[in-house]
Amino acid sequence: MTKLSFLILGLTLLFYNNTFNNRAKDKSCEVEIIAVGDNLIHNSVLNSGKINDSTYNFDRLFDIMRNDFQKADIAITNQETILGGEFRPYDGYPDFNSPFELGDAIVKAGFDVVLQASNHTLDVGVQGVHNCIDYWRKQKGITYLGINRNEKERNTIKIIERKGIKFALLNYTYGLNGRELPEDKAYLVNLIDTAAIIKDLRKAELLADFTIVFPHWGVEYVYSPNKSQEKLAEVMTQNGADLIIGTHPHVLQPIEWIESENGNRALCYYSIGNYTSGQKATPRVLGGMAKVVIRKSNDSVFIDRAGIVPTITHYEWVNGTSLHQTYRLSEYTETLEKRHSLGYYDSTFSIKTIQNLANQIVGEWISD
């Protein structure tokens, strides 16, 4: 082999080595975040997990999509109802109280972050919130948001780190269904308050590379954000939010980029709908799994790509019990459609109707 041949071979090997190393380096700087919507534990969902009078198992709720949750670097769920414990009877609408076994299933499914600020957070009072906090504090690897044991916790910005990227996580609710927080426990639940949110965002800016806000907001069963949502999204973007993922309407709402006057930019999912519930209307069994890939390049951290995977809540009556599971819409079959109990309550229900609705609301963002 000539000297020239050796030189060419050496340069070729160097090129491929550098290319491989760069690709490996790039991959290590990507963080995949997924988030699913409301776990709304109506009595039918509650009973679906009941084994006997005192024992529950809710693993079935997450079995079908478990692989998605476990593969993600950060998996997030909105636990709409409080895990209040047995000090009050477990119940569904209107005053929800859900078992700790639901939390066990959430942990087993692979979730990392649990959102607890919702209009139902105070359904069974202060003790229910305290019990819920005490439960989550015992769970290794779980970050809970939106509820606080004391003022110090309320004023602490929760940070999680993945692959060298620090994420600040904030969660708020518009209200508590008319219930008031005790004067001496105003810290208990994070309420939407513009001044407080701006203060939190400015703290987060100093502590993290990327800030995600989870507002529980909007109008139930409406496919479009209202003026209040749009205004708050602009305020959050202007003050440092990088990603906004909303809950509460129980239906999907649009996804859009928001650019503020100061040049800040955020991606906003106005609502990702229900993950599971006992609601008996076609639009309310359509939900979405937000998928966002965050990339770090040099000193810059940004959204590299994003989309939403439409999901469908399936429930069917088996031996007198409504059994609940959630599927990717793309994997939902005609056989399952025929078995879905919703057909007895809503004659418009079909896979086609659900697909059309998903396309209408978030069509350009749909991904696998």
CB 240 within 8 A of CB 201: yes
Q: Look up residue 273 and give its DSSP letter.
A: B
Q: What's the pLDDT at 200?
A: 98
Pairwise CA distance, residues 309 & 367, whole Å: 5
Closest CA to 132 of 200, 74, 86, 63: 86
Q: What is the dihedral of CA 237, 219, 173, 271, to 10 degrees?
A: -60
Q: What's the pLDDT at 216?
A: 98
Q: Is residue 302 part of a domain?
A: yes
Pairing status of strand 265-269 against strand 255-259: antiparallel
Residue 341 half-sphere exposure toward CB, CA atoms < 13 A: 17
At residue 30, the 3 state secondary structure works out as strand
Q: Is residue 19 part of a domain?
A: no
Residue type at 274? Answer: N
Pairwise CA distance, residues 148 & 130, whole Å: 8
Torsion sign (Cα): 304, 296, 67, 327: negative
Dihedral pair phi/psi, residue 264, rounded to 5°: -70, 155
Closest CA to 260 of 248, 277, 245, 242: 242
Pairwise CA distance, residues 295 & 303, whole Å: 6
Q: Is residue 313 part of a domain?
A: yes
Pairing status of strand 158-162 against strand 165-173: antiparallel
Angle between helices 125-137 and 100-109 (to 10 degrees): 30
Q: What's the pLDDT at 2?
A: 54
Q: Is residue 137 part of a domain?
A: yes
Q: Is the pTM of this model over 0.85?
A: yes
What is the CATH classification number for the domain harbouring 351? 3.60.21.10
Which pLDDT tens digits describe the chain residue by residue (368 residues)? Answer: 554 454 444 444 444 344 334 444 454 599 999 999 999 999 999 999 999 878 999 999 999 999 999 999 999 999 999 999 999 999 999 999 999 999 999 999 999 999 999 999 999 999 999 999 999 999 999 999 999 999 999 999 999 999 999 999 999 999 999 999 999 999 999 999 999 999 999 999 999 999 999 999 999 999 999 999 999 999 999 999 999 999 999 999 999 999 999 999 999 999 999 999 999 999 999 999 999 999 999 889 999 999 999 999 999 999 888 899 999 999 999 999 999 999 999 999 999 999 999 999 999 999 98
Q: Which residues pair with 276 in a beta bridge?
A: 39
- The count of other CB atoms within 10 Å of the CB of residue 330 is 12
Q: What's the pLDDT at 52?
A: 84
Q: What's the pLDDT at 368?
A: 83
Q: Which domain holds residue 35?
A: 31-365
> Counting beta carbons within 10 angstroms of the beta carbon of residue 349, is it exposed (0 to 12), middle (13 to 18) or buried (19 or more)?
buried
Q: Is residue 278 part of a domain?
A: yes
Pairwise CA distance, residues 235 & 238, whole Å: 5
Q: Is residue 112 part of a domain?
A: yes
Q: What's the pLDDT at 364?
A: 97
Torsion sign (Cα): 231, 236, 239, 242: negative
Q: Look up residue 248 and give its DSSP letter.
A: S
Pairwise CA distance, residues 362 & 355, whole Å: 11
Q: Is residue 9 part of a domain?
A: no
Pairwise CA distance, residues 294 & 302, whole Å: 6
Number of independent structural domains in the chain? 1
Q: Which residues pair with 97 in a beta bridge?
A: 91
Q: Is residue 281 part of a domain?
A: yes
